[in-house]
Structure 1
Amino acid sequence: MSHAGPARSDDAGLVRAYLDHVRVDKRLADRTLALYAADLDKLQAYAREAGVALADVMPAHVRRWVAQMHSGGRSARGIALILSGWRGFYGWLGRQGLIQQHPVNDVRAPKAGKPLPKALPVDEAVRLMGHEDAEDDPALEARDACIAELLYGCGLRIGELVGLDAAASATARGWIDLGGAEAHVLGKGSKRRSVPVGRAALDALRRWLDLRPTFARDDAALFIGQRGGRLTPQYIRVRLKRRSLQAGLATPVHPHMLRHSYASHVLQSSGDLRAVQELLGHASIGTTQVYTRLDFQHLARVYDAAHPRAQARKPRAK
């Protein structure tokens, strides 16, 4: 293993030669080339600080520099992009026979935190469920209202929703038992589960079933278009987005957002993580635990709004 020594004066020349190589051979855009150059400037700065030539950099150096970037607030994605640039540089040095060991190959960026699922505030979910498009065809309005109620009221996945049939049968992927107030669906991994259906969703379903025959052409599907065919997930996404904008919501709503909202709001009210896992059909409780983070955000907002010690003291007017 090489000992760290004074940085060699040809480091800048190596970087220039590599940038010339990628500019000519890869025909990179000027913007991309500038990003490569900035990443390699950072590499040279770290190497100078460590007193090591670029060709003598070891994996331990790179890991230390990754830790410094991470502690300095650089995002995991940003670090991954920088490492990608360094990896290309050292790959080229290896092909030139200028290094004995590739110092970046086995170094990975920190894991990026999973973004929180987007859920509607309760008041916005209620506003969306209460929206009625008086100008739309009554059957279309009843159908779209029922779709929204089932997505939010049962936490169904979009695939589970479009797979519902109007009646139970030996070939049905899913159906709703009106008398038992249960939705029977085929979820991920071909696993079946039953989900309670609330009163509002049942009322919406009855309204739609009363008007569905105006569309039906012997199609078994519960949700059909005016020509009688089973609705596609993409069509439902478009209709739901349109409905949410008509209802005045700031954020366009997609079907999975209503599933997230269902899970978050049930957890806020019950605190029963295991029950939410069962309702969502998650194989692992770890998948469901992300909603505890949403629940904490809700509690934090309540605290900020209600607790007298959470209010920022306003500066006195001079």
Structure 2
Amino acid sequence: MTTRLSALLVVHVAFIVFGITLVNAQLISNFYASSCPSLQSIVRSGMRAAVQNETRMAASILRLFFHDCFVQGCDASILLDDTSTMQGEKSAFPNVNSLRGFDVVDVIKASVEQSCPGVVSCADILALAARDAVFLSGGPSWNVLLGRRDSLTASYSLANSNLPAPSEDVDSLISKFQAQGLSVSDLVTLSGAHTIGQSRCVNFRDRLYNDDGSGQADPTLSATYLVQLQTVCPSSGGDDNLAPLDVTTPTRFDNIYYKNLLNGRGLLTSDQELFSSNQTSTVSVVQNYAASSASFFTNFPTSMIAMGNISPITGSNGEVRINCRVAN
């Protein structure tokens, strides 16, 4: 009797452990190994063509993934067009006239559908494309966890409230990241995505001419950098004029973004705040990454995976969209 009871306990414990493993392994790197074995090469090929056509597209796709994950989780809701009954995320204030790369996702999705119809979600394609955007720009690579499903809806209101703004201070940034289950270290690490890409004049004009309503430039800006930015971004007009987020190596994924922060050459308030706010928890990470490219390259994939795990839809709770812009 005792032996039988022990055996039953072992089975019960094993079942619990197995159940926990299943919960924690909802997303796995080889999710499409048998159902769409060519997936990774298709996405990489599509991203390589897009970046070769326009280098800036790497940053645009990476940003698209970030803006997706911070609203309803990584569910491809950012890709949905508005309908007569739903105002989507594309027209929210942080996204309108700003997000790019939707056509690139469409092209990659069409190629995936030709090879593996109805199998791969738009959410997973975007996650893979973001990884490849980093790698093709000279950054690290990693095994993307897969198995997401696509949402049926988007949220205009959450896009307006959840996404960090370029003018926000460090405390607000920390709060918004922690609301998504991300740490202060994740905040600084993921901000390193600004080592590539550009931003519109409207996002940093106040720093140049009227910081915090002072009528003066942001004192944390390097004097020479200020003059350089003022030639690109006048006090009025030119809202869409572009400046690189990393003035030194704007198209290469590296740790120079952090070195720029040490020298007052962060483009956005939300960038420079990570160092100049004197918030010890962020300053120490900035200093570490500025000193060690290897440390940044090691930690960036970890933080990207953490962000990719924000509230994924799995199983029968979502769908695999045929067209990423509309629910089936």
TM-score, normalising length from structure 1? 0.25
